[in-house]
Structure 1
Amino acid sequence: MITYLLLALTIGLAALSIFLMYRASRKPLADLVFTAVLSAFLALFIYLYGMWVFLSIYLKYVFGVLFLLSTAWFFIRRKTTLRGRSIWGKFIFTILLGAACVLYFTGTTGVPKTVELDFPLKKGRYFVLQGGKGLPTNIFHFSLRGAIYAMDIVKLNKYGNRANTVFSRKLEDYAIFGDTVYSPCSGKVVRAHGDNPDNIPPNMTRGPKNTNMVVIEGDNYTVFMGHLKMGSVMVKEGDMVKIGEPLGCVGNSGFSSEPHLHIQVHEIEKGRPWYASRPLYIRFNGKTYLLNEMIREKNL
């Protein structure tokens, strides 16, 4: 199961970064420097990219504290010698990890054109399960017909998890399942569909053509919201909606392995379908969000 694999990788790499920092203090001088730097970049990488949400996002902060303590211990107990060793392997890994950490914030798409929306979910803490400025943070969406700035949003329960267990086959176990989706903008509903059944996790063989959705056309952009719950869509094509008007509920229809809200925005370009037009980077209530960031009510 990919969920358990990603969680195990997250915890394993976090433990490795602490171990490397612990061991670095007893290494020869050249090895000490590169081992410590490698450990720091590995810790930052897994802090930013790690799938902590599969167990609890609070573990991310626990790991951060533990790594800082291991770094303090490194300075207390370090004993160096001048004996040199080959450092090329660590140098290469350090460069790769450093680049990944920088790209987390910058992405690979340059300076994106943004669109201002109202956050479409209310009453809770939400989490960006997938999102970012292209590669490497949004690698899955990057390959989907220009959806390079699309976002997948889940909801957190009181334990900092998006479900009652690490992985569940029960839709009701997911905190976001059934949450009302509100219109993030004013405009015209150009597509509305809600007859497709919800997938039982992790089955998503029905594919993207069986997604319950609402598509809204604003003044100069089109907003797509997908994976809605079967029978929950409250609007129809041709309706005019205002910001904050209920549209439907979060589900797990179409190409989706677990309940979440998928949202993407494209600029309106004459003669081109909305999904092939220029993608726009979303700002919710004046703030942008990246992979693994929390969306709090106080920020909305």
Structure 2
Amino acid sequence: MTAMVLGIQVFLPLALLAWLLFLPARSLMGFAAQSAGTGAMLFALARVAQWALPVWWLPWVYGSLWLGLVIFRAAGTRLDKRPVLPDGTWGWTGFALAVLLCAVGGWYSVRALMGRSVPAVEVVDIANPLGPGRYLVGNGGSNAVVNAHLTTLDASVARFRPWRGQSYALDFFGLGPWGLRAEGWRPAEPAAYAIFGAELRAPCAGTIVAAEGNMPDFEVPEQDPVNRLGNHVVLRCGEAEIVFAHMRHGSVSVASGDSVVEGDRLGEVGNSGASTEPHLHIHAQRPAVEGAPPISGEPLALQIEGRFLVRGDRLVGR
């Protein structure tokens, strides 16, 4: 995982910027394609990648550097002195690479932006459930490019059916000093993560239909693939259920059958269940049919205070 993150979110953007800095195209068409291709790839990476690791504001740095380099290179040579078309093998090779980057970056950018559209399902609008702090959306949106949970909508895959209700789920990371999600790159201790211990409150009035608080919090990256929810609360609000998963051991303060009003304390974020590091998993669903797995109900879209949150968005707790 570390190698993949470094490759996609550090080395690839730096390589694109270095290409623009040290090997700028000599022709007008080549430079325009090179600028557009590198820009499209950087924008796609900014919208598609999870920027909890290394840090959420790094794409803004890359974007600023890209804009500065384009202006610097455009101003460094008189445009009327440049040939219009690429020249020679290297010129056309660079142009072809730039066009490929435009196509790939453009496709992923469009898909990521389409993921901001609210899906054509019922939408449940809730209050902010997170206590004081700043939070980053790691998964969220209406397609699999920005929300890994969407894969469970595929009813043809038998192993997805028991947790199909979580298909439009949101995952939240915490943001600590300098926007870092943890004290270190990937510490083993759950308490080193900014979101660990963050307070959770009822986002709507309703009835607790399930609650579990005695499962252990694991060191990173250990997890429990069998008891996937870990410590959790299922809150029924009207005809929908709001599911909170991966809560902290011993923090759940409600029990099945309890009635709650908006703002009542539910517990804290932890690292239990199928969680690779501390985060909050929250989703909305229809109640599962009797005898079926608890999160196999019909998935619903979720809005928090009127916002349909997508990967990369940030939320301030209340």
Give the TM-score normalised by the residue count of structure 1.
0.89
In the aligned structure 1, how far is the partner of 2:182 from the partner of 2:275?
15
Q: Mark the runs of 5 or more structure 1 residues left unpaired by the alignment.
A: none
Counting aligned pairs with the same residue, the percent is 25
Q: Which moved more, 1:157-166 or 1:133-142?
A: 133-142
Distance change in 2, residues 1:114/1:105 (3 Å): farther
**AA partner of residue 41 (structure 1):** A
C-alpha RMSD over aligned residues: 2.5
Distance change in 2, residues 1:111/1:184 (3 Å): same
Residue 128 (structure 1) aligned to one of 121, 137, 140: 137
Residue 110 (structure 1) shift: 4.8
Q: What are the residue-to-residue correspondences of 1:193-204 with 2, within 5 Å? A: 193-204=212-223
In the aligned structure 2, how far is the partner of 1:200 from the partner of 1:67?
39
SS at match of 1:99: helix
Residue 295 (structure 2) aligned to one of 272, 275, 278: 275
Q: Which moved more, 1:139-148 or 1:165-174?
A: 139-148
Contact 1:7 1:52 in 2 (8 A): no
Residue 96 (structure 1) aligned to one of 84, 95, 104: 104
**AA partner of residue 112 (structure 2):** Y
**AA partner of residue 130 (structure 1):** N
Higher-Rg member (1/2) = 2
SS at match of 1:276: coil
Residue aligning to 1:181:
200
Contact 2:229 2:245 in 1 (8 A): no
Distance change in 2, residues 1:202/1:166 (3 Å): same
Q: Mark the runs of 5 or more structure 2 residues left unpaired by the alignment.
A: 153-159
Q: What are the residue-to-residue correspondences of 1:121-270 with 2, within 5 Å? A: 121-143=130-152, 144=160, 145-146=163-164, 147-209=166-228, 211-268=230-287
**AA partner of residue 149 (structure 1):** Y
Distance change in 2, residues 1:279/1:181 (3 Å): same
In the aligned structure 2, how far is the partner of 1:15 from the partner of 1:89?
16
1:69 and 2:46 matched: no
1:229-276, Cα deviation, whole Å (9 max, x unpaired): 111111111111111111111111110011111001013587776633
Distance change in 2, residues 1:153/1:24 (3 Å): same
Contact 2:121 2:301 in 1 (8 A): yes
Residue aligning to 1:6:
5
Residue 224 (structure 1) shift: 0.7
In the aligned structure 2, how far is the partner of 1:110 from the partner of 1:262?
19
Distance change in 2, residues 1:154/1:210 (3 Å): closer
In the aligned structure 2, how far is the partner of 1:3 from the partner of 1:221?
38
